[in-house]
Amino acid sequence: MLDLQKITQAHVDAYKDAVNRVIESGWFLQGKENQQFEADYAKYIGTDHCVAVANGLDALYLLMRGYKELGIMHDGDEIIVPANTYIATIIAITRNNLVPVLVEPTWENLEIDVNKVEEAITPRTKGVMIVHLYGRVAYNDSLGAICKKHGLKLMEDCAQSHGCAWKGVKTGALGDAAAHSFYPGKNLGAFGDAGAVTTNDAALAEVIRALANYGSQKKYVFKYVGMNSRMSEVDAAVLDVKLNYLDEDNKRRQELADYYYARITNPLIQLPQRIADENNVYHQFPIFCERRDELQTFLAEHGIQTLIHYPIPPHQQECYKDWNARSYPITERIHAQELSIPMNQILSTAEAQEVVRWLNAFT
Ligand SMILES: Cc1ncc(COP(=O)(O)O)c(C=O)c1O
């Protein structure tokens, strides 16, 4: 599925130079490397601000915590969020004492059903958190219009969408603020945990920067009850190198996706719809099969690794017991049928051919 050793080898000298520069500087936190990466990533995404933090979950948490400190969100306010997301999106909402309002995705797009967003709005709704899952875009013009009409903050979870865009605007710059993860397996991955918030909102960026530094804007003076969520200088230096290769890597993923779309012909397997106006960066390549578990075993027997994203939806998790009796049929169907097949920038065409061969051989 993902050979991080091989992926790292592709530009290993550049990473060594970057890490050596940090070692020689003797400066490991809150230094020039963070400043440079923040400037370069903000430019890449197309926002005025980027605040580097320790991981994607913190980025999500700090984004909404920032809105709370600014008096824009309060305990008990509702945040609309897709029912089919990685648990971190939901944790960030509940840990802020906000209430996630789970909205079904569409089966065709796998992203939040924009037609259902407006019905989910109540007087307590303060924001919509979209998740660009699998590298697909979750935004469209009507979603932007709904948020504007109702005065809601449009927030993006970009953990899986580095480089993804809608009509040329990058995810991370489509709404009011966005959280990014640089977990090693992401399209833009660090050498450990790392994350960031991007926004054009200077006040929000300033609060988040303070919150991530114990709540301090001035040494030993604490304005907020903050946390320690900073990106290491090593990670910032490495990410700044990797950013140079992101578009090229995503292009290779798109070539492989074209290859899969043209050649996976097994009627037992369904491929997700391709969306006009989107620059899908294929963080994962999800396929769907009613006999998903049998298919996974069959592929494994023929040397093809796959992963399920994700086996249990958030509302059925033990940590959210109160929601376990709820029903979200489309979400549940996605979780029951989804299988992610190999997709990454170093996958060779010969390897993709093997994947296709065994997918088409499944009866
Ligand atoms: C959709 C989504 N949101 C948030 C996260 C959390 O990011 P992190 O692992 O950096 O905390 C992840 C992945 O890990 C994710 O896939």
List, for residues 320-349, the tens digit of each pLDDT value.
999 999 999 999 999 999 999 999 999 999
pLDDT over 70, % of the chain: 100
Closest ligand 1 atom number to CA of residue 58: 11
d(CA 146, CA 142): 6
Best substitution site from 86, 161, 187, 232 to test ligand 1's pocket, by max atoms within 8 Å of Cβ? Answer: 86
Measure 184 CA to ligand 1 centroid, in angstroms: 11
* pLDDT the model gives residue 276: 86
Alpha helices by DSSP H, listed for 123-167, are 141-150
Closest ligand 1 atom number to CA of residue 88: 4
The overall average pLDDT reported for the chain is: 97
- Residue ID of nearest Cα to ligand 1 atom 7: 56
* pLDDT the model gives residue 194: 98
Closest ligand 1 atom number to CA of residue 131: 1
* pLDDT the model gives residue 187: 98
Alpha helices by DSSP H, listed for the chain, are 4-9, 12-25, 32-45, 56-69, 87-94, 114-117, 141-150, 202-211, 233-243, 246-263, 292-301, 329-337, 349-361
Measure 178 CA to ligand 1 centroid, in angstroms: 12
Terminus-to-terminus CA distance in the chain, angstroms? 23
Least confident of 135-139, 148-152, 213-217, 276-280: 276-280
CB of 56 closer than 6 A to ligand 1? yes
pLDDT over 90, % of the chain: 99
d(CA 32, CA 148): 37
- Residue ID of nearest Cα to ligand 1 atom 4: 88
Measure 134 CA to ligand 1 centroid, in angstroms: 11
* pLDDT the model gives residue 3: 94
Could you report the per-residue pLDDT of 141-174, keeping only the tens digit for each? Answer: 999 999 999 999 999 999 999 999 999 999 999 9
Could you report the per-residue pLDDT of 175-200, keeping only the tens digit for each? Answer: 999 999 999 999 999 999 999 999 99
**Distances in Å between the alpha carbon of 74 and those of 65, 91, 179?**
9, 16, 20
C-beta neighbour count of 361 within 10 angstroms: 11
pLDDT tier at 64, thresholds 50, 70, 90:
very high
CB of 159 closer than 6 A to ligand 1? yes
* pLDDT the model gives residue 309: 97
Q: Is 353 exposed, middle or buried (0-12, 13-18, 19+ CB in 10 A)?
A: exposed
Could you report the per-residue pLDDT of 274-322, keeping only the tens digit for each? Answer: 988 899 999 999 999 999 999 999 999 999 999 999 999 999 999 999 9
CB of 62 closer than 6 A to ligand 1? no
pLDDT tier at 361, thresholds 50, 70, 90:
very high
